[in-house]
Structure 1
Amino acid sequence: MNHGISFLLNGKAWTAKDANGAKAVPISYKGTTYVPLRAVAEATGANIRYDAAKQQISITTGPVAETPGKGERTPFSVNNVSHFKWSYYPSGITRNKEDLQFGETQYETAFMVTGVNSAGQGVAFKVKDGTQKVGVLVGFKTSETDKDYTGTYTISDKDGQAFATGKIESGTVVENVLVLPDQTTELYVKFKGPAGKDSTGYVIWDESWLEN
């Protein structure tokens, strides 16, 4: 029996017990560690991992994330897209409701970049390896409401190859579907707005998706 091994259950210290309520201790024998209650844990859908360096067994309960099947669309999330800085002006993730109100639609999460003008600013993000197709919903807003303003956007890879370009009116969103070349994981969305106006560009997660 190996009394030096500890358990974590959902990230917290936990003591395994047998059917009689006594402490159940893992057994290490000839380089192999035998975990008590493994069959019970697996039967209830728990995920078990053993860290030999830390001499620690980690148990996670609840639904286990499944790998999407080929051709299945997966919405943007913190698990499959990530922001990285590219533009001079601030960019990142926003969940501000006022920022994400477009007409009568309230979105929840987006990549955004501020300071968009005629010189252009952009937001960049990475997608998971193996992604073959991406749906990208872009949004655009100017700080002025005295008249209708229009901007433009370009979605490209790190080498500048454009996958989509278009015009976008202030306060609106536009959907784009991109077919990615093999090994393309970085996407750059550049916005241009009216000269002298402080505009903001968005990549809205709620209706953006990946397909492998």
Structure 2
Amino acid sequence: MKKKWIVTTAAAAMLLTAASGVYAGAKLQEVKAYLNSSIQLKFNGTPVQPRDEKGNAVLPITYNGTTYLPVRAVADVMGIAVSYNPETYTVELGEKSEGVAIAKGFESMYYTKDPAQTTYQGKDYKEAYFDNAGSKRSSSFMLFPKGKYQKLYLQVAAVGEDIDNFFIEDSEKNVKLKTEKVAVKDGLKTIVVDISGVNELFIYADVENKGALFVPLTTSYYK
């Protein structure tokens, strides 16, 4: 019988997490299925081994003539962010339906809620990263998406002087994901970066003597 490759939310719920109590209230139906070690997976012609979030090898499940693939493992291979909400029994693939502001849990010596520093071009953003130290310097901070999101929408503005060197890097792999020039004339610039599978981000800028870097934390978000 020809096998079909299907990823379902039911399979996703079972394979995304094994936390105690995750099935409470779920509409589960017990079935007899088989771990199928004979199935091999290729992506763009290259053999791959599906693995869970801890790096352990996982196998497809065959039930009633249909083969079910572990959704997290397949999403990781294809570079698609995946998360599971146990409260709503919802698997989310790719970008989230709503953005999550980077302000939550943000830490830096240049983090501020001072309206004099969180206001840019007449708008108060309430929370911001504002480095106006007043010397030629490296300005940087870390973000921790923890592999949960597909995209980062980061808003940045150069104040006083252009920023010729600005980049966003996958900190674990030391790979630059985006390099930009941020000019004063750009105003508040939105930089969009694919961060699927990325746990830690390093954001870096070279700031001139009379310049400053402004990043609103409430309107910069993961999705």
Pick aligned residue for 1:97 from 107, 115, 118: 115
Report which of the two has the higher share of strand: 1
Report how far residue 98 of structure 1 moved: 1.6
Report how far residue 74 of structure 1 moved: 2.0
Asked if 1:163 is matched to 2:187, the reply is no
Aligned CA distance change for structure 1 residues 199 and 68 (closer, same or farther; 3 Å): farther
Larger radius of gyration: 1
Pick aligned residue for 1:82 from 84, 106, 111: 106
Contact 2:110 / 2:131 at 8 angstroms: preserved in 1? yes
Task: Give the match for residue 193 of structure 2.
Answer: 178
Report the residue type matching 2:113 in the other structure: R
Inter-partner Cα distance in structure 2 for 1:173 and 1:77? 16
Contact 2:103 / 2:127 at 8 angstroms: preserved in 1? no
Q: Which runs of 5+ in 2 are unaligned?
A: 1-86
Contact 1:115 / 1:121 at 8 angstroms: preserved in 2? no
Task: Give the match for residue 202 of structure 1.
Answer: 214
Report how far residue 136 of structure 1 moved: 0.7
Report which of the two has the higher share of helix: 2
Task: Give the match for residue 135 of structure 1.
Answer: 153
Inter-partner Cα distance in structure 1 for 2:182 and 2:217? 18
Corresponding residue SS for 1:99: helix
Aligned CA distance change for structure 1 residues 164 and 117 (closer, same or farther; 3 Å): farther
How many residue pairs align between the two structures? 131
The TM-score, its normalising length taken from structure 2, stands at 0.49
Q: Which runs of 5+ in 1 are unaligned?
A: 1-64, 86-90, 143-148
Report how far residue 116 of structure 1 moved: 6.9
Report the residue type matching 1:186 in the other structure: E
The TM-score, its normalising length taken from structure 1, stands at 0.51
Task: Give the match for residue 150 of structure 1.
Answer: 162
Aligned CA distance change for structure 1 residues 117 and 155 (closer, same or farther; 3 Å): farther
Report how far residue 167 of structure 1 moved: 2.0
Identity of aligned residues (%): 13
Pick aligned residue for 2:207 from 174, 193, 199: 193
What root-mean-square deviation, in Å, do the aligned CA atoms of Structure 1 and Structure 2 show?
3.0
Within a 5 Å distance, the mapping from 1:11-22 to structure 2 comes to none
